[in-house]
Amino acid sequence: MPTRRVIVVGAGVGGVVAARRLRKLLSARDEIVVVDRAAEAAFAPSFPWLVTGARTASAVTARLGTLLGRSIRVVHGEVVALDPVARRVTVGDRELDADALIVALGAELAPETIPGLAAFGHNLYDAAGATAMHAALRQLRSGRVVILTAAPAYKCPAAPYETAMLIDAWLRRQGRRAQVEVDVIAAEAAPMPAAGPAIGVAVSGMLAAKRIGYTPGRQVVHVNPAAGSLQFDDGRVEQVDLLGYVPPHRAPGCVRGSVLAGAGGWIAADRATLETTFPGVYAIGDVTSIPLASGRPLPKAGVFAHRQADVVAANLAHAWTGRGAPAAFDGHGACFVETGDGRAGYGAGNFYAEPAPGIVLRQPSRIAHWGKVAYERLWLRGIVVGLPG
Ligand SMILES: Cc1cc2nc3c(=O)[nH]c(=O)nc-3n(C[C@H](O)[C@H](O)[C@H](O)COP(=O)(O)OP(=O)(O)OC[C@H]3O[C@@H](n4cnc5c(N)ncnc54)[C@H](O)[C@@H]3O)c2cc1C
């Protein structure tokens, strides 16, 4: 039988899980190639812990070799073009052809689309920005910290709320909470809107109980670094001493520039199989846009990238080897919501449920916090645990 090749484009959560599962399921003769611009990957769910100094960037980063193992070929370089008709990936000036293509390129962060934002604030969605936010927090004796979401839709919709709650707990431990105001100003109308109104009420209740100010539904349009002020689309201006922000997201440039780009530049994929309209080409994780019954897209989160990768790997292996059974992504997801003081809430449910997602958020507990820590430690050691079905 001839050797076949799968190219997994992107070595984030979805790409790593897809490649690892395929390596287990396919014949050793079949080649699995993973392409990424980076030689290492940070575990993003740990970034809120960088903000409070509970982790360092190096402690939450692993080499791709650790994450992928030896029997997966890694090609380092910038993906500049995707041709789903030919199943061809252009990496720098090289062209790689595949029998199957799995696009797992995530979302691109675009802070520069809000003038002044990057010059004044710290990007909570990259390791360097979260680390710089911690250094700035350590310097702050009094004043106002604002956690800002600079666009209404972003990956891990819990993260800015978790970050605000972790900052609150850290300031209390430092004995500085009375001197420092903590506020969340959000572009979205409620916390985690795709999870349904009950989750929004629960999370805003948690913020209120911690005396974290919360103003939803306000879109920042401009930041004035010299004045330390944020200008919003309703004309109001907010003064800020320390700003941590979630930047606007967009689909990666090579996706936007390809025929794969659908609405808003994201890739439309079958909600169950993640196959695109191009045979043998799949898209998983943050790079996709999957509409829900509510009209909102499925949130961008590692848990979905992981489960979708499992499904694509199982189906490809079934098609190529005849072994196993076809699988379908059913919309289930779960997430930890760190609330500070070594506790986390745990939300889980089915985002494909109709007419509305059935998501339940459990009371914060130490067990949930340690569940997240355990997952982090295993992932960074290259141990990919299966998620419940
Ligand atoms: C602060 C924070 C906290 C989070 N917490 C959670 C959480 O608790 N639970 C959860 O489920 N999710 C969480 N997430 C979201 C989660 O990290 C993402 O949803 C997940 O990583 C998406 O996986 P992915 O494979 O689609 O993309 P990514 O993991 O982003 O991987 C994309 C890969 O593609 C590569 N790439 C992109 N463009 C190119 C190019 N042109 N050429 C070469 N390589 C390229 C990148 O280098 C990257 O390695 C969090 C995210 C953040 C930022």
Kindly state whether residue 260 falls inside one of the protein's structural domains: yes
Domain limits at 18?
5-37+77-107+251-328
Last residue of a domain, one of 248, 280, 303: 248
Q: Do 255 and 244 share a structural domain?
A: no
Q: Do 230 and 115 share a structural domain?
A: yes
Question: For residue 384, how many C-alpha atoms fall within 13 Å in the half-sphere facing its CB?
Answer: 24
User: What pLDDT is recorded for position 1?
Assistant: 55
Q: What is the pLDDT of residues 108-159, one digit of tens each?
A: 999 999 999 999 999 999 999 999 999 999 999 999 999 999 999 999 999 9
Last residue of a domain, one of 248, 265, 295: 248
Domain count, the chain: 2
Q: Do 210 and 313 share a structural domain?
A: no
Q: What is the pLDDT of residues 181-205, one digit of tens each?
A: 999 999 999 999 999 999 999 999 9
Q: At which residue do the structure tokens 């609150």 appear? A: 168
Tell me the residue type at 54: A
- Among residues 70, 76, 82, which one has the least CA distance to residue 32? 70
β-pair partners for 90: 81, 95
∠ CA 2-6-8, rounded to 5°: 165
Atom of ligand 1 nearest to the CA of 159: 3
With contact defined as beta carbons under 8 Å apart, do 329 and 277 qualify? no
User: What pLDDT is recorded for position 386?
Assistant: 79
User: What pLDDT is recorded for position 190?
Assistant: 97
Atom of ligand 1 nearest to the CA of 304: 11
User: What pLDDT is recorded for position 75?
Assistant: 98
Kindly state whether residue 138 falls inside one of the protein's structural domains: yes
Kindly state whether residue 379 falls inside one of the protein's structural domains: no
Containing H/E element for 221?
Answer: strand 220-224
User: What pLDDT is recorded for position 58?
Assistant: 98
Residues with CB under 6 A from ligand 1: 10-15, 36-38, 41, 44-45, 47-48, 78-79, 104-106, 125, 155-156, 159, 252, 254, 285-287, 300-303, 305, 335-336
Tokens of 253: 């440039």
Last residue of a domain, one of 248, 266, 298: 248
CATH number for position 31: 3.50.50.60
User: What pLDDT is recorded for position 340?
Assistant: 98
Nearest CA to ligand 1 atom 31: 12
Ligand 1 midpoint to CA 177 (Å): 32
Q: Do 264 and 180 share a structural domain?
A: no
User: What pLDDT is recorded for position 387?
Assistant: 76
Kindly state whether residue 57 falls inside one of the protein's structural domains: no
Instruction: Record the pTM.
Output: 0.98
Tell me the residue type at 82: L
Q: Do 228 and 178 share a structural domain?
A: yes
User: What pLDDT is recorded for position 388?
Assistant: 65
CB atoms within 10 A of CB 389: 8
Ligand 1 midpoint to CA 371 (Å): 20
Q: Do 272 and 217 share a structural domain?
A: no
Q: Does residue 357 have a cis peptide bond before it, meaning omega lies within 30 degrees of 0?
A: no
Ligand 1 midpoint to CA 143 (Å): 33
Ligand 1 midpoint to CA 106 (Å): 5
Q: Which residues of the chain have pLDDT under 50?
A: none
Report the distance separating Cα 269 and Cα 23, nearest Å: 23
Kindly state whether residue 142 falls inside one of the protein's structural domains: yes
| Three-state DSSP state, 59 | helix
Q: Do 312 and 255 share a structural domain?
A: yes
Q: Do 229 and 123 share a structural domain?
A: yes
